[in-house]
């Protein structure tokens, strides 16, 4: 059974080009869909995932590919511990996997009743229920507004702080507008896992570590992370995005074409629907 259908995999492979004898850092191992494709195309892979549950799949790949594959069970912000010489290219397939969202016990989904956990990594100190208990109502409103685009975020934050839900269904039942349920769950998940801080920190390290000719690719799933990646890559490639501002001549990076899923991928895998693939290359 396929646990997680890799999104935009063909496009990722095309964007990376000939990767024989290159070493790729797969920052988001998940079910190993990207990692396997990279290994099969002749690359070596160093993979990160902060979720300990993926270790069995990583172990299986290790047995098949030996020292062509290294797995690191930590947050991808730890890419700063690698050296420039350790790798050629980097890929991120952001967000959570189907294994995480479809596992009732993890508390990511409002479809199942479960403790309100939402940690990708159980070593994180605070789960979603504890986050709600410990942050101020103002901060909770900011989280809902910034990461979930909830319009009446102050009102909803007040309702949530009053009830202090500890299960997914308790939280779901506090949200009166059904359109707000998924965004509220997304917002809390992003805050619990500091997802935006992770991306910013890892991209910062990639910027200083990537060698000339190296590529950095990101698959994003919602507008907040996509904006961070887009603006970061534009900055690296000195593309202002504003026609009134001049672009710097001869920047260090060049942007690659943005790709979204084809109709046939959308049909086969509806979870790919909001995906964007963005890439940059450090010039030789
Ligand atoms: C969308 S899935 C990746 C799927 C993978 N590309 C595949 O083909 O199977 C995202 C994975 O990244 C992991 N992840 C998300 N944020 C992370 C972070 N900051 N550090 C390490 N792993 C992270 C999640 O635990 C999850 O397993």
CATH number, domain 9-99+195-282: 3.40.50.150
Percent of the chain scoring above 70 in pLDDT? 96
CATH superfamily of 125-192: Putative methyltransferase TM0872, insert domain (1.10.150.170)
Identify the band that residue 54 occupies on the pLDDT scale cut at 50, 70 and 90: very high
- Probe target for ligand 1 pocket from 7, 49, 61, 99, with the most ligand atoms within 8 Å of CB: 49
**Protein residue whose Cα sits closest to atom 27 of ligand 1:** 30
User: Quick check: 239 pLDDT over 90?
Assistant: no
Task: Say what the pLDDT of residue 238 is.
Answer: 85
Task: Say what the pLDDT of residue 242 is.
Answer: 67
How far apart (Å, rounded) are the C-alpha atoms in residues 106 and 118? 6
Give the residue carrying structure tokens 């396997």: 36
CA of 187 to the centre of ligand 1 (A): 17
Identify the band that residue 100 occupies on the pLDDT scale cut at 50, 70 and 90: very high
Residue scoring higher pLDDT (22 or 247): 22
Would you say the pTM of this structure is higher than 0.85?
yes
CA of 92 to the centre of ligand 1 (A): 8
Q: Residue 7 in contact with residue 271, Cβ under 8 Å?
A: yes
| 251-269 residue pLDDT tens | 899 999 999 999 999 999 9
Task: Say what the pLDDT of residue 210 is.
Answer: 97
How many Å separate Cα 149 from the centre of its chain?
18
Task: Say what the pLDDT of residue 3 is.
Answer: 81
**Protein residue whose Cα sits closest to atom 4 of ligand 1:** 30
Of 68-72, 94-98, 207-211, 245-249, give the lowest mean pLDDT range. Answer: 245-249
- Probe target for ligand 1 pocket from 4, 100, 120, 124, with the most ligand atoms within 8 Å of CB: 120
282: tokens are: 């450090």
Percent of the chain scoring above 90 in pLDDT? 92
Mean pLDDT of 95-109: 94
Of 77-81, 114-118, 244-248, give the lowest mean pLDDT range. Answer: 244-248
Ligand 1 pocket, residues with Cβ under 6 angstroms: 4, 6, 28, 30-34, 48-51, 54, 75-76, 93, 95-97, 120, 198
CA of 28 to the centre of ligand 1 (A): 3
Residue scoring higher pLDDT (246 or 137): 137
Closest ligand 1 atom to Cα of 99: 27
Mean pLDDT of 73-78: 98
Closest ligand 1 atom to Cα of 26: 6
The per-residue pLDDT of the chain, averaged, comes to 95
Spatial CA neighbour of 277 closest among 48, 8, 5, 76 = 8
Identify the band that residue 174 occupies on the pLDDT scale cut at 50, 70 and 90: very high
- Domain spans, the chain: 9-99+195-282, 125-192
Spatial CA neighbour of 221 closest among 272, 255, 264, 147 = 272
Give the residue carrying structure tokens 């534009």: 234
């Amino acid at each position: 059974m396929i646990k997680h259908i890799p999104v935009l995999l063909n496009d990722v492979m095309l964007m990376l080009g000939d990767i024989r004898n290159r070493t790729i850092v797969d920052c988001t191992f998940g079910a190993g869909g990207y990692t396997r494709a990279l290994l099969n195309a002749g690359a070596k892979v160093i993979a990160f995932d902060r979720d300990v549950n993926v270790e069995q799949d990583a172990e299986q790949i290790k047995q098949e590919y030996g020292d062509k594959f290294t797995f690191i069970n930590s947050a991808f912000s730890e890419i700063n511990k690698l050296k420039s010489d350790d790798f050629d290219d980097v890929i991120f397939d952001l967000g959570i996997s189907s294994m995480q969202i479809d596992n009732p016990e993890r508390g990511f989904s409002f479809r199942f009743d479960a403790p309100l956990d939402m940690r990708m990594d159980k070593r994180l100190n605070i789960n979603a229920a504890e986050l709600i208990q410990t942050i101020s109502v103002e901060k909770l409103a900011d989280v809902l507004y910034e990461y979930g685009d909830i319009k009446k975020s102050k009102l909803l934050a007040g309702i949530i702080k009053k009830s202090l839900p500890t299960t997914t269904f308790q939280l779901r039942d506090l949200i009166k507008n059904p359109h707000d349920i998924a965004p509220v769950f997304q917002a809390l998940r992003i805050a619990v896992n500091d997802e935006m801080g992770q991306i910013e920190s890892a991209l910062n390290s990639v910027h200083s570590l990537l060698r000339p000719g190296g590529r950095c690719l990101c698959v994003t799933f919602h507008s907040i992370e996509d904006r961070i990646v887009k603006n970061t890559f534009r900055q690296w490639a000195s593309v202002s995005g504003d026609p009134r501002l001049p672009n710097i001549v001869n920047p260090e990076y060049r942007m690659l074409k943005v790709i979204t899923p084809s109709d046939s991928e959308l049909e086969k895998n509806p979870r790919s629907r909001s995906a964007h693939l963005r890439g940059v290359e450090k010039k030789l």
